Structure 1
């Protein structure tokens, strides 16, 4: 597939426009993930040593210091974007957490964008995930092939590939790709052809039970629910509207399933499946308490993006500070729940207080 220079410029500019929208509109952060509705049981006698709390876990065959994935944000040829991804990679490597890059579609439109994804030299040991928009697998005339997906993996030396689902964003985006017909079949085809695991991910409106079932039947065993409540990509695309009267992005800015709803649905579905699966919670996780709640609801890992964007513009050291903040909050929550390790936290819904009626 050959892209014209105009196509490359359009895709590259879009990445910068997304960042600028986030900078100028605080209401893109929706703060409606559902975690604030969950109350946990405090232990005045936790019977453990805070310093002995163990947050280590594994992901895709590699060790992590805590169940954290710096989730997908950006990629492109702009110097700011290249610096952001480098700082994220260096920080993730220093602390020992996982990293996922933003959509790699841009690297097929703009050769210079590849630099923003050449991150293994900055993060040689941690799990790193590539990222392709699933809808690009079925677009007439501009379809990404399994071979191109393999290229996206190769440039990162990635441990896995996100196929992200974003029907709401595409519906609102002025130049959006809106044909999602027979997409699960295309996903199954890619999953069969690649040498690394394929992970299915939403981008802020959530995976439903039906989506989980379709994905599982397509051969997917790793799911990132990416529920409603954090960054609203619908509202971001509203800022890129081409007609003044177009308010579709605002009307749908809170569309979707909350992260809590997604986790509850996914846990019930995946618990019935015979093969091992991985469940990633993302969408509005904004502190270590949210992380603890997500793990209690059955998540294996917590994906967080927005809180790392501003630090990543500054330096890797600032990103490390933010990761350490999440780590301290998460560790403290585990201590106050009497959980010395993740095995006593994950899926332990007895830690949730019943609702008062």
Structure 2
């Protein structure tokens, strides 16, 4: 049943090797241009960001992690308390389990109870339009994410492999819920073509959730009787850095960059490529099994490392960070050039015309 699967996913992510093995996010190919004369005071740097009408103290969202099993309640509670303490955003895992079984609602509603003013994002699957209103109301959400996970469904033993009608379902969800709708991948990235289709469908934001972090093909490999498909597609997807450029250059809606982002430096690179904010999941899940204090410590480290990156490129705030110079090298540069993107413009943004 759905609830039992939720517990399996939690335990596998917390205790097993579920990250990409032969593939990275691509952020190692993104080189921010150092400024020897930054002309600013690091202590005065403003790393706050706004999304869906709410201001956060840092451009960070705890990406959709869990809910739907009694064991997930304490995890979501501690993550929510940390999000509230640090004034950042938080998403919950797929809410289908609680819509189908109201006894599980507390495993999700605990988030808003412990983060009353934070940006909170609900979560349903693309085919689950009938769950949209209930999911959003369950946690008094600020936005609703529609997750896209064809890779996971392909490997999952009980996966739903009929993806017909996704765009129409998203359009209808946008129409029936009175809040922003986010299209969110789950670790395999979003391309330019799909981003344009999603914007045309009416979504208010896109979370690229690219490859390089948690591989849901890997997670499902541990659950499958035959490991062949999971191992074959373990490293499938669009690397996060490349996906961030593909989406940011193709749509006008805000873009959330997630998928293997672990530090404020990587976040700075994602934002410099055009993202509004970033998401992080797996490290914070593992921290939640230790303590709330451990979660907060990682968020504080994220904030400080982001400030250092901004200091070193001379950016007083997130708006200025988006305009800083950078070089796209290696496989990411090759990917983007082959896909028709002009990578040179990122390296020359500060040049006088």
Given the two structures, how large is their TM-score scaled by the length of structure 1? 0.89
Distance 1:299 1:214, change over 3 A: same
After superposition, residues 183-222 of structure 1 pair within 5 angstroms as: 183-222=166-205
CA contact (8 A) 1:280 1:299 kept: yes
**Displacement of 1:112:** 2.4
Paired residues, what number? 330
> For 1:15-72, what per-residue CA distance to the aligned partner results, in whole angstroms no more than 9, with x for missing partners?
1111222233235354610001111212222111110111011111111001000000
Is 1:309 paired with 2:301? no
CA contact (8 A) 1:77 1:110 kept: no
Quick one: distance in 2 between partners of 1:354 and 1:26? 28
Task: Quote the residue 2:19 is aligned against.
Answer: 28
List gaps (5 residues or longer) in structure 2.
335-353
Is 1:97 paired with 2:97? no
* Structure 1 stretch displaced more, 178-187 or 24-33: 24-33
**Displacement of 1:256:** 1.1
Task: Quote the residue 1:82 is aligned against.
Answer: 73
**Displacement of 1:316:** 2.2
* Structure 1 stretch displaced more, 159-168 or 23-32: 23-32
CA contact (8 A) 2:257 2:270 kept: yes
Is 1:124 paired with 2:120? no
CA contact (8 A) 1:70 1:100 kept: yes
**Displacement of 1:150:** 0.6
Q: 1:342 aligns with which of 318, 322, 338?
A: 318
Q: Secondary structure at the match of 2:262?
A: coil
Is 1:252 paired with 2:243? no
Is 1:352 paired with 2:346? no
Q: Secondary structure at the match of 1:263?
A: helix
After superposition, residues 107-256 of structure 1 pair within 5 angstroms as: 107-118=98-109, 119-134=111-126, 136-137=127-128, 144-145=129-130, 148-243=131-226, 246-256=227-237
Quick one: distance in 2 between partners of 1:353 and 1:117? 40
Quick one: distance in 2 between partners of 1:11 and 1:354? 43
Quick one: distance in 2 between partners of 1:54 and 1:16? 39
CA contact (8 A) 1:201 1:225 kept: yes
Quick one: distance in 2 between partners of 1:312 and 1:152? 23
List gaps (5 residues or longer) in structure 1.
1-9, 138-143
Task: Quote the residue 1:285 is aligned against.
Answer: 261
RMSD of Structure 2 on Structure 1 (CA)? 1.7
Q: Secondary structure at the match of 2:124?
A: strand
Quick one: distance in 1 between partners of 2:156 and 2:171? 26
CA contact (8 A) 2:18 2:216 kept: no
CA contact (8 A) 2:7 2:69 kept: no
CA contact (8 A) 1:77 1:115 kept: no
Quick one: distance in 1 between partners of 2:122 and 2:18? 28
* Structure 1 stretch displaced more, 186-195 or 19-28: 19-28
> For 1:151-185, what per-residue CA distance to the aligned partner results, in whole angstroms no more than 9, with x for missing partners?
11111000010000000000100000111112101
